[in-house]
């Protein structure tokens, strides 16, 4: 739901790009046209040995000799485009590149295109696209991806191959040469290179663009992007005159990396809290270690994630050091850039079904040991080596037999904000990433000591984890809001639970939410009613007219007509939302074109759109899509299963959830009891529900003093400290009504946000 004009990391660059004016730019020394040397349609194979192709392979932001390049290879300023090889993303990529090249001369910019697969089908498409480039060049590559983007690929493997061969032929690439190249090691290595580079820039999905290492928004106004790119090219020209093209690109790339680093440091997210215990149930997940273990390490991980493999030696060391005192739990969190993570997980769970827990962990070890070889034939070889029934493994992979297990893990990861892999919870305490051995060991030792203290109080070893989870932080209910729904708002479904969608017809994230909402209405249309609310965002120039057109369509054709128009606009969003497009889709529904044109010319429905905008403003809704599900407000689209669970929650809680202060005593203390009028000195750590610390007295190690009852702190603090003993420690969960309310406390605390405070009462002075 991020829709800033450009990515936040670019704002600083745009404000200070300041190179020479583009109109005074001089061409780079020895600059070549597209695909030089050779003819314009030179193959990637021909170009790979050229000096220009090899020039930047070892740079800070490397350009591979087999990268698909549009524009001048010798150009310094470089735009790298990452895209999934799906019909939608390729269509978006092609449209973006064509619009950009209409604004920028071909030799004014080097455009590099990389396709990043995430499953078997997209891997074959990416392999074929690269092969087309290798044997027939950039023009053929663009013709191929344009053809492939016209429709979803066939599901059948044989049909997919035929379909791709036809697309290659239409791009005038020799089919036999493409087939041979597609199977080469060169292609496999190139896609592996692309994936590594994508991970470096934290690419996750959709279409992403980077100009000289700086991320930009591909949905920003194209003229503004083009102007910025021209300025960067002009700056590169000046550098090239002085230092040469290669050094110029390296300087631009390093400057971009530094700008991004500086911007990230300025907006650096707080460190995650590693002292709170979060509710992470084991459920039926695979466990390595005994039930009497004092410490449970839950790992959210991905079979293809290199960092998940790198942390394994540390885990082996922990097992060797602590033996049966520690057990490990695996939870799945397959990342979008790892297409073989899910098939690999299917093998591991089938191994578990056939050979129990040992079967899972043996498969787990084998898979992590060869992450670069996880194709179907590799999985079959692993299955055979592990003594599994290979046919059952093949069937499990093909049918995604254990998809439900993986989906449940992903939902849990979202609930506990386990973003990125590996993400660890050690007796509920959060550790993010491939942490050093000494960090994990220290936390394990602390938790063993904690567990042993619980044993002394009578908690049996196999009950320790459940005991800790009983006091752990559980998922928070979304904020509950009340808002009047206009009678003329488009509706779909017949249920009592209103699902209001505040959205924008030009927003790509809203378009992606459509399939989930279609699924929701299809499955739960008798329980929910989907309601559309207009939220055209300022950076989307065509969104306001599109909303006005949609209102006129509803006026003429009712709710049914509106939802057909809604589908047409989102499903063809890549066409744009110019007047002609709005009229075309309306005409297809039998709408009176003259009446629609008049409504748009006279802005007849602008006031109605602005009413929805005002309603959103009163609730501080400023991003799309935002949903209100039976009163519960969430930003962004959830996966279907998670959204459906929210519907269940709304059904059970039609009037919201009562907001209450929750107190958990970690240590009772032995001193005087705090009461109103007393002065207390405390240490505290404030944590948001995502696990990040927003305030603390620990650094700089200065206690905070306050007199209870004076009302100088939020109400939750006043109430939460009463009755606490000197020397005691407790965790307060403070609801928004006892915290900072609907407005929050910018910039660190958003509105409607529950807060977690760990408090230690160091000193108490009675009144």
Per-residue pLDDT tens digits for 580-634: 999 999 999 999 999 999 999 999 999 999 999 999 999 989 889 999 999 999 9
Q: Is 466 a catalytic residue?
A: no
Catalytic residue (choose from 5, 279, 640, 694): 694
Q: Are 344 and 303 a contacting pair, CB within 8 Å?
A: yes
Give the 3-state secondary structure percentages of the chain, helix then strand then coil, rounded to 5: 45, 15, 35
Cis status of the peptide bond prior to 37, with omega within 30 of 0 = yes
**pTM for the whole thing?**
0.70
Please pick, among 133, 210, 509, 740, the residue that the annotation labels catalytic: 740
- Name which residue leads in pLDDT, 650 or 267: 650
Report, as an integer, the average pLDDT of 509-523: 94
Catalytic residue (one of 483, 695, 704, 749): 695
Q: What percent of the chain has a predicted confidence (pLDDT) above 90?
A: 71
Peptide bond into 293 cis (omega under 30): no
Write down the pLDDT at residue 675. 95
Please enumerate in sequence order all residues whose Cβ is within 8 A of that of 204, keeping only pairs 6 or more positions apart, or say none: 335, 336, 337
| pLDDT bucket at 35, cuts 50 / 70 / 90 | very low
Q: Region 307-324: what's the mean pLDDT?
A: 96
- Edge-to-edge order in the sheet of strand 423-426: 287-288, 326-332, 295-301, 423-426, 429-432
**For residue 135, is pLDDT > 70?**
yes
- pLDDT tens per residue, range 199-221: 888 887 789 999 988 888 887 77
Choice among 714, 734, 749, 759 that is catalytic: 714
Q: Could you say which of 684, 693, 734, 759 is catalytic?
A: 684
How many other CB atoms sit within 10 Å of the CB of residue 154? 14
User: How high is the pLDDT of residue 8?
Assistant: 28
Supply the pLDDT for residue 41: 57
> Mean pLDDT over residues 49-66, rounded?
89
pLDDT at 713: 93
Q: How much is the average pLDDT of 679-683?
A: 96
Question: To which H or E segment does residue 413 belong?
Answer: helix 403-415
State the Cα–Cα distance between residues 385 and 366, nearest whole angstrom.
10
pLDDT confidence of residue 269: 62
Q: Is the pLDDT of residue 536 over 70?
A: yes
> What is residue 17's predicted lDDT score, i.e. its pLDDT?
22
Provide the pLDDT for residue 27. 27
Calculate mean pLDDT across residues 728-738. 95
Stretch 82-110: mean pLDDT: 88
pLDDT, mean of residues 344-353 = 98
For residue 2, pLDDT beyond 70: no
Q: Tell me which DSSP letter residue 758 carries.
A: E
Element (H, E) at 313: helix 312-322
Q: What's residue 750's pLDDT?
A: 86
Is pLDDT of 306 > 60?
Answer: yes
pLDDT at 732 over 90: yes
Q: Please give the pLDDT value at position 266.
A: 63
Q: Are the C-beta atoms of 34 and 70 separated by less than 8 Å?
A: yes
Give the pLDDT score at 227.
83
Q: In the block, which residue shows the tokens 């007849």?
A: 604
96-99 contacts: CB < 8 A, separation 24 or more? 96/207, 96/209, 96/218, 96/222, 97/70, 97/142, 99/222
Residue 714 among the catalytic residues: yes
* Cα 399 to Cα 379: distance, rounded to the nearest angstrom: 15
Quickly name the fold that domain 491-652 has. Answer: Glutaredoxin (3.40.30)
More confident residue, 476 or 350: 350
Q: Contact at 8 Å (CB) between 85 and 122?
A: yes
DSSP 629-678: ETTEEEESPPPHHHHHHHHHHHHH-TT------EEEEEE--SSPBP-TT-
- Which top CATH class is 662-765? alpha beta
Least confident of 45-54, 390-399, 458-467: 45-54
Output the pLDDT for position 88: 86
Phi and psi at residue 407, in whole multiples of 5°? -60, -40
Residue 139 has pLDDT above 90, yes or no: yes
Q: Report the C-alpha gap between 436 and 427 in whole angstroms.
A: 18
Active site annotation includes 694: yes
CA distances from 410 to 236, 403, 642, 689 (A): 44, 11, 10, 17
Alpha-carbon gap, residue 501 to 574, rounded angstroms: 21
pLDDT at 345: 97
Taking the CA atoms of 123, 124, 125 and 130 in sequence, report the sign of the dihedral they define. Answer: positive
The Cα 21–Cα 135 span in angstroms is: 38
Q: Quick check: is 749 catalytic? A: no
Around 223, how many Cα atoms within 13 Å sit in the side-chain half-sphere?
A: 2
Cα 332–Cα 338–Cα 342 angle in degrees, nearest 5: 45
pLDDT exceeds 80 at position 431: yes
Q: With a cut of 90, say whether residue 84 has pLDDT above it.
A: yes
CA angle (731, 732, 737) in 5-degree steps = 165
**The domains spanning 491-652 and 662-765 adopt the same CATH topology:** no
494 in Cβ contact with 529 (< 8 Å): yes
pLDDT reported for residue 14: 27
Report the CATH fold assignment for 287-470: Glutaredoxin (3.40.30)
Q: b/e for 368-392, b at 16 or more Cβ within 10 A?
A: beebeebebebbbebbeebebbbee
Cβ–Cβ < 8 Å for 613, 504: no
CATH superfamily for domain 8-12+35-266: Glutaredoxin (3.40.30.10)
Domains of the chain, residue spans:
8-12+35-266, 287-470, 491-652, 662-765
């Amino acid at each position: 739901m991020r829709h800033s004009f450009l990515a936040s990391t670019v704002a600083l660059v745009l404000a200070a790009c300041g190179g020479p004016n583009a109109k005074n730019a001089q061409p780079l020394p020895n600059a070549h046209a597209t695909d030089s040397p050779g003819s314009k349609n030179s193959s990637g194979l021909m170009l790979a040995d050229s000096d220009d192709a090899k020039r930047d392979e070892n740079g800070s932001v490397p350009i591979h000799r087999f990268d698909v390049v549009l524009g001048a290879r010798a150009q310094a300023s470089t735009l790298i485009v990452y895209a999934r090889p799906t019909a939608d993303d390729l269509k978006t990529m092609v449209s973006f590149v064509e619009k950009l090249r209409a604004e920028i001369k071909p030799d004014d910019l080097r455009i590099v295109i990389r396709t990043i697969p995430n499953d078997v089908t997209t891997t074959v498409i990416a392999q074929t696209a690269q092969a087309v480039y290798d044997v027939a060049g950039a023009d053929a590559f663009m013709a191929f991806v344009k053809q492939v983007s016209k429709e979803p690929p066939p599901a059948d493997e044989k049909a997919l191959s035929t379909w791709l061969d036809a697309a290659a032929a239409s791009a005038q690439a020799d089919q036999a040469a493409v087939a041979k190249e597609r199977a080469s090691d060169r292609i496999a290595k190139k896609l592996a290179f692309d994936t590594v580079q994508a991970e470096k820039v934290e690419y996750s999905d959709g279409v992403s663009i980077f100009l000289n290492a700086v991320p930009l928004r591909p949905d920003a106004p194209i003229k503004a992007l083009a102007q910025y790119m021209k300025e960067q090219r002009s700056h590169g020209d000046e550098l090239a005159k002085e230092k040469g093209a290669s050094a110029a690109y390296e300087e631009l790339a390093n400057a971009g990396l530094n700008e991004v680093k500086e911007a990230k440091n300025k907006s650096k997210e707080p460190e995650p809290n590693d002292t709170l215990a979060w509710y992470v149930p084991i459920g039926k997940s695979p466990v390595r270690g005994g039930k009497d273990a004092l410490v449970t390490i839950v790992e959210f991980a991905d079979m293809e994630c290199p960092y998940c493999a790198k942390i394994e030696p540390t885990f082996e060391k922990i097992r060797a050091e602590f033996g049966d005192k520690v057990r490990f739990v695996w939870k799945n969190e397959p990342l979008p850039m790892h297409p073989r993570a899910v098939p690999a997980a299917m093998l591991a769970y089938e191994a578990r079904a056939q050979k129990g827990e040992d079967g899972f962990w043996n498969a787990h070890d084998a898979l992590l040991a060869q992450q670069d070889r996880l194709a179907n034939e590799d999985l079959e070889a692993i299955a055979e080596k592990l003594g599994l029934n290979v046919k059952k493994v093949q069937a499990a992979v093909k049918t995604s037999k254990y998809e439900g297990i993986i989906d449940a893990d992903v939902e849990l990861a979202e609930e506990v904000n386990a973003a990125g892999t590996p993400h660890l919870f050690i007796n509920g305490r959060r550790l993010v990433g491939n942490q050093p051995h000494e960090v994990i060991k220290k936390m394990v030792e602390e938790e063993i000591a904690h567990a042993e203290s619980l044993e002394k109080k009578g908690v049996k070893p196999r009950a320790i984890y459940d005991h800790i989870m009983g006091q752990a932080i559980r998922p928070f209910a979304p904020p509950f809001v009340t808002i009047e729904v206009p009678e003329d708002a488009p509706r779909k479904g017949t249920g009592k639970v209103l699902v209001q969608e505040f959205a924008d017809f030009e927003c790509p994230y809203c378009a992606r939410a459509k399939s989930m909402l279609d699924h929701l209405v299809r499955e739960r249309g008798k329980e929910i009613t989907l309601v559309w609310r207009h939220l055209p965002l300022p950076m989307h120039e065509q969104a306001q007219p599109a909303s006005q057109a949609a209102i006129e369509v509803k006026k003429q054709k009712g709710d049914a007509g509106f939802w057909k128009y809604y589908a047409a606009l989102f499903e063809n969003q890549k066409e744009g939302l110019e007047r002609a497009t709005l009229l075309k889709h309306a005409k297809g529904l039998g709408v009176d074109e003259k009446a629609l044109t008049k409504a748009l010319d006279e802005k007849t429905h602008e006031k109605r759109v602005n009413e929805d905008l005002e309603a959103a403003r009163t609730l501080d809704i400023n991003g799309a899509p935002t949903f209100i599900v039976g009163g519960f407000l969430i930003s962004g689209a959830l996966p279907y299963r998670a959204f459906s669970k929210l519907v269940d929650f709304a059904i059970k809680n039609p009037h919201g959830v009562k907001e209450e202060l929750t107190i958990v005593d970690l240590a009772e203390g032995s001193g005087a009891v705090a009461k109103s009028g007393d002065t207390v000195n405390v240490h505290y750590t404030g944590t948001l529900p995502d696990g990040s610390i927003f305030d603390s007295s620990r650094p700089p190690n200065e206690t905070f003093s306050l007199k209870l009852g004076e009302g100088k702190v939020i109400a939750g603090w006043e109430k939460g400290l009463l009755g606490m003993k000197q020397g005691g420690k407790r965790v307060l969960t403070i609801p928004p009504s006892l915290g900072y309310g609907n407005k929050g406390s910018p910039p660190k605390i958003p509105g409607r946000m529950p807060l977690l405070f760990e408090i230690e009462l160091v000193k108490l002075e009675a009144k």
